[in-house]
Amino acid sequence: MSPRLTVTKEDGLITTKAGRKLPKRTTKGWQFLCQWNDGTTSWHPLKDVKESHLLQVAKHAINNGLAEEPAFAWWVPHTVKKRDRIIKAMKKQYFRIHQKYGIEIPKTVQEAQALDTKTGTTFWMDAIRKEMKNCSNAFEMLPEGSRIPVGHTHIKCHLIFDVKHGSLERKARYVAGGHMTAPPTSITYASVVSRESVRIAFVLAALNGLEIEVADIGNAYLNAPTNEKIVITCGLEFGAQFEGRLAKIVRAQYGLKGSGQAWRSHLAKVLLEDENLGFHMCKADNDVWFRPAIKPDGTKYYEYILVYTDDVLCL
């Protein structure tokens, strides 16, 4: 921020011909220090950062008491309200859907049990057991009778159910109630590969005769440790022996505010520090990784990995 150029709160309002006072639409004098994935930093005007990372900047302004400054007051409240309206609409749509492809979808473990009993199958309970087995390493069970540890936040978790297209396989995903945690003190933004990089990668593959493979990393977030201090009360999905006990979340559980960033940092750390892999980060797009390679006929070329959340594109 440049204090001499910043619009003061007294000058942050304009008066219309009708006599109404409206916020002045300005970002004058404000700059943000951005830290990139490669560790470098650079200053950028608020107007540019706002255009590229609207919601992240709005959340940063609220968390740091800047929302009432003239440069933020005219757009931050509108941005947050719009986000809340979208989330509310999505919640309504989710609870309004009771069937998919003609199959009833439960909303709780009890409903899943009832549906399996009704249909004489174990599809939903099998999906729950599979999901809980996959994410079992994300929890550290506390001794019976334990209280919430000092400095930890107690939140609720729940299962989300779905039906897979084509195979009609029942799916369950265990997610944490990240909305119940305090605003993060550090950035939680997790980048993904850009469309332009993907297009360039396809051109490179076509020019060099490279094979393209797409891979999905199962339960990707759970590979990364979390710095958030969260405690949950185990429900019926954990089994009768653990129901009602407290457990710490020690992995980047889906639903937590910092899980996306934790997974992105963990993947980058592995690719950078493992000398056997030999990958380097592209400076133009930090979600593009490359390493030199040699074809069987002796031709030199580069292998690429393009990262999109928990999906990767390999060339």
Q: What is the pLDDT of residues 3-54, one digit of tens each?
A: 445 667 666 677 777 777 777 788 888 888 887 766 788 898 888 888 888 8
Q: Are residues 107 and 77 in the same domain?
A: no
- Give the count of alpha carbons within 13 A of 207, CB side only: 8
Domain-embedded: residue 230: yes
Share of the chain residues as helix, strand and coil, in percent rounded to the nearest 5: 35, 25, 40
| Model confidence band, residue 1 (pLDDT cutoffs 50, 70, 90) | very low
Q: Are residues 75 and 119 in the same domain?
A: no
Q: Are residues 167 and 51 in the same domain?
A: no
Domain-embedded: residue 125: yes
Cβ 313 vs Cβ 214: under 8 Å: yes
Q: Are residues 161 and 67 in the same domain?
A: no
Domain count, the chain: 2
Domain-embedded: residue 92: no
Percent of the chain with pLDDT over 70: 94
Q: Are residues 74 and 124 in the same domain?
A: no
DSSP conformation class of 105? -
Q: Are residues 151 and 257 in the same domain?
A: yes
Domain-embedded: residue 74: yes
Helix (H, G, I), strand (E, B) or coil at 254: coil
Beta-bridge partner residues of 155: 232
Lowest mean pLDDT among 36-40, 133-137, 160-164: 36-40
Which residues span the domain enclosing 30? Answer: 13-86
| Among 86, 119, 142, residue at a domain's last position | 86
| Among 53, 86, 119, residue at a domain's last position | 86
Q: Are residues 105 and 196 in the same domain?
A: yes
Output phi, psi for 283, to 5 deg.
Answer: -70, -30
Which residues, including other chains, have CB under 8 Å from residue 93's CB and lie 6 or more apart?
none
Domain-embedded: residue 186: yes
Domain-embedded: residue 196: yes
Q: Are residues 200 and 268 in the same domain?
A: yes
Q: Are residues 119 and 235 in the same domain?
A: yes
Residue 110's pLDDT is 92
Q: Are residues 38 and 179 in the same domain?
A: no
Q: Are residues 184 and 247 in the same domain?
A: yes
Residue 4's pLDDT is 44
Name the packing angle between helices 54-63 and 76-96 (round to 10°).
Answer: 110
Q: Are residues 66 and 133 in the same domain?
A: no
Beta-bridge partner residues of 45: 31
Helix (H, G, I), strand (E, B) or coil at 187: coil
Other beta carbons within 10 Å of 221: 24
